[in-house]
Structure 1
Amino acid sequence: MLARMAEIVYPPACPACARALAEPLGLCAACWRELTFLERPWCARLGIPFPVEMGEGVLSAEAIANPPPYDRARAAVAYEGAARVLVHKLKYGDRMDLAAVLARMMLRAGREILADADLLVPVPLHRGRLWRRRFNQAAALSAALSRASGVPADPLLLRRVKPTRTQVGLTRPQRASNLSGSLLVPKPLRPRVAGRRVVLVDDVLTTGATADACARALRRAGAARIDVLAFARVVPEA
């Protein structure tokens, strides 16, 4: 009854452009067409799409030149157009309801890595930034993914123990330097990670510096496998 009353007062609308919708938790046709879903063929390690079929298990030049400290990364869509708007509204617009919308797309993209995963771990925020933003978008996504997949989420396992500059506008080396020593799994919590297959959850993959730093912290804590699942990723130009 309460849900129905809410729909009358606040009719369903596209979260990206605010056009009216017949059903909640969806996108309008125009915004849906703006999404570039990332599909095979792709780099087996980074999930970056290839323009043509390259064969099973082929790695991209980036994965060969700079092997990441995690096993696989997957993202649902390219970080552009409506996807960028959705991420911005979730992250800065207090639209926590969008987590369920984005998680549905992530579930499809991450099917293979979620199939035998033991644990979902969101990329953490430092407590100062969390206080200012009021919630962690990666934790909201991991909670929604947990409900949809049945894989448990642990939002307090990985900690950001020192504040860092925003990563926006930094080069890859600058991002890595900015994050150095900022992430860890506290010693008392390491048994929760040891020998487990962990999926690191975030909203966007850009240079991969944050995912790299988180993966190294999880590896030091004894994780057996580390995969990364994001809603969107920056796709290098061909």
Structure 2
Amino acid sequence: MGAEQGAVRGSARGAVRGEAPIRALLHDLAALVWPTCCVACGAPDRDCCAACLAEVRAPVDLLRRELPGPSHGPVAWAAGPYEGPVRSMLVALKHGGRTGFARDLGRRLGAPIAAALELASGGPPPVVVTVPSRPGRVRERGFRHVEVLVDAALRGLRAERPGSRVRRMRALRTLRGRSSQVGLTADERRRNAELVAVRSRLAAALRGREVVLVDDVITTGATVAAARRALERAGARVLAVAALCEVRRSTHPNV
């Protein structure tokens, strides 16, 4: 029996080792039929080349940021700046429907989410709440991109922490009149960002609950600050904000 089990384990390890070259071969065959190039650097034959993918998968150096509002309020953690291959992959996912990038971007987002979860009091597990997209944007894309990233992040965290009971809750919605933040001044962003509220049917579930608030990109901080206030008005305690990227100035049109 022991020899048989060892043979099975050995076969499994061999199969895993064999997956990488098989996957590479399939990519090569696909590139012959559907030519593609790296979304970040333009290198041929891959959606994201090995060098750019390695940068996305590199260990995360968290960026800490104070949010607008009271000095004692929660802080924001970002997995890095809004630049390079991470930016290119996020734009491709968000505006090009390239959801295949969600796994690697989500794993990267897992680092700031994990940092926020460290602040939990030890009571009921916190819930992860995403900053909502406008309904029109969701219809255009066919998916809620921040939720896709968060789900990938939580899958990664559960693999690292078996037994984790942290879940995502779609607790926020945008209000009528909310427009895109792209191209707005800081004051306009702040006024526009206030058009967010807690879904009434979930208000009771949020009361007294610890929350990690998540967005894809933090620019001025107005959007996450408004979302935080909406959650706190419902009685939730926002531990921290987690984001994939942050940008100090709104210099990128596709944020």
TM-score calculated relative to the size of structure 2:
0.69
Residue 110 in 1 paired to residue 124 in 2?
no
- 1:83 is the counterpart of 2:86: yes
Q: Is the 8 A contact 1:69 1:216 kept in 2?
A: no
Correspondence for 1:58: none
Q: SS of the residue aligned with 1:97?
A: helix
Contact 1:159/1:185 (8 A) holds in 2: yes
- For the residues of structure 2 that align with 1:65 and 1:217, how far apart are their CA atoms? 14
* CA distances 1:4-45 after superposition (whole Å, capped 9, x unpaired): 7897254798563464799x9x862256459998736x6xxx
One-letter amino acid of the structure 2 residue matched with residue 108 of structure 1: A
Query: What letter matches 2:77 in structure 1?
Result: R
Q: Which residue of 2 aligns with 1:178?
A: 192
C-alpha change, 1:32 and 1:148, in structure 2 (3 Å) is closer
Query: CA 1:65/1:125 → structure 2, altered by over 3 Å: closer, same or farther?
Result: closer
- Bigger helix fraction: 2
Judge which range, 31-40 or 158-167, deviates more.
Answer: 31-40
TM-score, normalised to structure 1, is 0.74
For residues 226 and 27 of structure 1, do their structure 2 counterparts lie closer, same or farther at Cα, with a shift above 3 Å needed?
A: farther
Tell me the distance in 1 between the aligned counterparts of 2:68 and 2:38.
41
- Structure 1: state its 5+ residue gaps: 49-62
Superposed displacement of residue 189, structure 1:
0.8
Matches within 5 A, 1:141-220: 141-150=149-158, 151-154=166-169, 156-180=170-194, 182-220=195-233
1:129, distance to aligned residue in structure 2 (A): 2.0
Q: Percent identity?
A: 32
1:209/1:31 Cα in 2 relative to 1: closer, same or farther (>3 Å)?
A: same
Match of 1:59 in 2: none
Give the secondary-structure state (helix, strand or coil) at the position aligned to 1:124: coil
Corresponding residue SS for 2:79: strand
- Tell me which residue corresponds to 1:55: none
Name the CA shift for 1:95/1:219 in 2 (closer, same or farther; >3 Å). same
In the other structure, the counterpart of 2:75 is 72
Q: Structure 2 unaligned runs (5+)?
A: 1-18, 159-165, 250-255
**Aligned partner of residue 77 in structure 1, secondary structure:** coil
* Amino acid in the other structure paired with 1:16: A
> Would you say the 8 A contact 1:35–1:83 is kept in 2?
no
> For residues 64 and 110 of structure 1, what CA distance do their matches in structure 2 show?
16
Count, aligned residues: 212
Q: Is the 8 A contact 2:82 2:217 kept in 1?
A: yes
| Bigger Rg over Cα | 2
For residues 135-194 of structure 1, give each alpha carbon's deviation from its aligned partner in whole angstroms, at most 9, with x where no partner exists.
12111111112222242011x3111122422211212111011223x2111232112211
| Rounded Cα–Cα distance in structure 1 between residues aligned with 2:72 and 2:44 | 44
